[in-house]
């Protein structure tokens, strides 16, 4: 029997092996359980886990108590516990809210709402006032069936917005195109958010590597949003997504992009049906084993409408907040949302409930 506080010997995990955290705890309960050697912190906390499921050759069939982890699997479990580096210099230790600014005429939820740069800049400032920690600016819709946009048009839409809002906050740019990436970084962006995980444009990895910008690598079935929903099939969607992301992180490192500059996104809705999305949300902690912060975007998406019975995307606010909370409780670092005020409020109240005290109480005491 090995206590949870035992410092596991550094051995390589088994090939193609995964350790999946189970029995999650939050807030004060997580702190107490870790202090009592009954749990381990997930990515340094504040979530903790009390059990583990081992997946791979020779893995036990049943979930295990942490004290019963076999020696050959201990490194895989340890990988889940290590604190992650601060992504793009942002605050760590709580889920951050990334506000969406779509400068597009055809995005699924808010296309055409921001017809010009002035409106988009005003909307960005409003999201910051509502509680956004950073902004994600996009000039090309990547909804299923959307037509591609040239880098020239994409830059025309977003660059004035990036230049102005970069004066106020950290800016992420949602693009697949290397030319747009370079122009946006020159305009003040600090993060590249690529739904293709640097597969779409052969020059993209070089742009990110030489810029020292941070990058978000997302899973998408195939590499074309127009066709990603046509033939959606998986064996185990969670393991396939996790393996894809791990491979893309390793590839990006080989291109000269340091791992501490990389975050991963499971790509909710990008080549997934409702059951796939729910499985990914339920088992999100497995992705923490990759060793990168997790970015999560499910705001107003179709599966929320299917679950709630709400057809119009802009009326899926409550469902979107519920999904954001579920993701935050599973170790996600950044939540990408349309409805910033509602999400930020929910996170503040949730944190207070989990701590069992009013904000600032410990400092005042």
Q: CATH code at 243?
A: 3.20.20.20
Q: E strands of the chain, at which residues?
A: 18-25, 40-41, 48-55, 64-65, 96-102, 134-138, 170-174, 191-194, 214-218, 262-265, 295-296, 334-337
Task: Give me the domain span that covers residue 285.
Answer: 87-353
Catalytic position from the list 143, 272, 283, 301: 301
Q: Clarify whether residues 76 and 225 are in a common domain.
A: no
In a domain, 346, yes or no: yes
Tell me, yes or no, if 301 is annotated catalytic: yes
In a domain, 251, yes or no: yes
pLDDT at res. 361 = 57
pLDDT at res. 332 = 96
Catalytic position from the list 157, 261, 300, 336: 336
- Distance CA(107)–CA(146), nearest Å, equals 8
In a domain, 8, yes or no: no
Tell me, yes or no, if 316 is annotated catalytic: no
Mean pLDDT split into 10-residue runs, the chain, 365 residues: 34 63 95 96 95 94 96 92 93 94 68 72 97 96 78 95 98 97 98 96 97 96 73 91 96 97 96 95 96 96 96 95 97 97 96 82 51
Q: Clarify whether residues 189 and 61 are in a common domain.
A: no
In a domain, 188, yes or no: yes
In a domain, 360, yes or no: no
With vertex at residue 327, the alpha carbon angle to CA 136 and CA 304, rounded to the nearest 5 degrees, is 80
- Distance CA(154)–CA(143), nearest Å, equals 16
Q: What is the pTM of this model?
A: 0.91
């Amino acid at each position: 029997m090995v206590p949870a506080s035992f410092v596991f010997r550094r051995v390589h995990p088994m090939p193609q092996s995964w350790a999946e955290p189970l029995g999650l705890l939050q807030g004060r309960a997580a702190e107490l359980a870790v202090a009592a050697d009954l749990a381990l912190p997930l990515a340094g906390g504040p979530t903790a886990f009390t059990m583990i499921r081992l997946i791979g050759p020779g893995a036990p069939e049943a979930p295990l108590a942490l004290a019963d982890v076999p020696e050959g699997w201990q490194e895989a479990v340890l990988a889940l516990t290590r604190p992650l580096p601060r992504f793009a210099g942002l605050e760590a230790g709580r889920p951050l809210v990334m506000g969406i600014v779509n400068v597009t005429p055809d995005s699924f939820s808010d296309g055409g709402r921001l017809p010009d740069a002035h409106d988009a800049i005003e909307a960005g400032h409003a999201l910051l006032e509502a509680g956004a920690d950073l902004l994600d600016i996009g000039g090309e819709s990547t909804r299923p069936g959307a037509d591609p946009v040239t880098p020239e048009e994409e830059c025309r839409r977003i660059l004035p917005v990036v230049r102005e809002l970069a004066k106020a906050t950290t800016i992420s740019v949602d693009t697949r195109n290397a030319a747009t990436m370079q122009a946006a970084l020159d305009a003040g962006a600090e993060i590249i958010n690529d739904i293709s995980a640097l597969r779409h444009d052969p020059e993209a990895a070089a742009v990110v590597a030489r810029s020292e910008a941070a990058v978000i690598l997302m899973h998408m079935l195939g590499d074309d949003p127009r066709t990603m929903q046509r033939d959606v099939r998986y064996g185990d969607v969670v393991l396939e997504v996790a393996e894809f992301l791990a491979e893309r992180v390793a590839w990006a490192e080989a291109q000269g992009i340091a791992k501490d500059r990389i975050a991963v996104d499971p790509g909710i809705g990008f080549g997934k049906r409702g059951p796939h999305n729910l499985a990914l949300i339920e088992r999100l902690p497995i992705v923490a084993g990759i060793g990168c912060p997790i970015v999560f975007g499910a705001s107003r998406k179709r599966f929320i409408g299917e679950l709630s019975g709400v057809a119009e995307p802009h009326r899926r606010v409550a469902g979107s907040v519920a999904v954001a909370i579920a993701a935050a409780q599973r170790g996600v670092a950044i939540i990408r949302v349309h409805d910033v005020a509602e999400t930020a409020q929910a996170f503040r109240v949730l944190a207070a409930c989990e701590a069992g005290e009013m904000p600032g109480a410990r400092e005042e005491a």
